[in-house]
Amino acid sequence: MIEYQELICALNGLLGNKFPDIQKYGNDTTEGWKKPYFFIECVPGVTAYETINFAKRSCVLKITYYQETVNEPDQLHKVEEIRKLIGIKFCVGSRKLDVRSYNHDYVGEYNNILQISVELDWYENLCQPPAGELIDNVDVALKKGER
């Protein structure tokens, strides 16, 4: 089962390899930010139970790009670089999650801070292995009887 922190770790890994000079921060950082940096967060979505054994899960990964000086061409270049980096399947360990949508917007007081949103969907197998011991051998004896 995929946990949300695994999604953040996978995204941090991708961004760290592609942009080694840009620091990454999350909700656990409250001070000491040094621009330029990416602020990364995971907004959990709905867990919809399809059956007793399967659930469809979703979330939105948000990447907010804070620059030293606002530079729109650089922001738009980051939009395309990150889109190509993530692709249509987001890899988390051995799983490949569906990227339902990829979009960007501008946030902040002056609407000049780039924010990229990546919506993910995936299914989880909730089936638990049976408790107790499993049968190793079964002995069968057949007897011919009279009627």
| Average pLDDT rounded to a whole number, residues 56-77 | 97
CA proximity to 75, closest of 28, 111, 34: 111
- What are the structure tokens assigned to 35, written together? 């621009």
pLDDT, tens digit, 9 for 90 and up, residues 11-45 = 999 999 999 999 999 998 888 899 999 999 999 99
pTM assigned to the model: 0.85
Class for the domain spanning 4-125: alpha beta
pLDDT, tens digit, 9 for 90 and up, residues 100-134 = 999 999 999 999 999 999 999 999 999 988 888 88
* pLDDT at 147 (0 to 100): 66
The answer to whether 56 and 73 have CB atoms below 8 angstroms apart is no
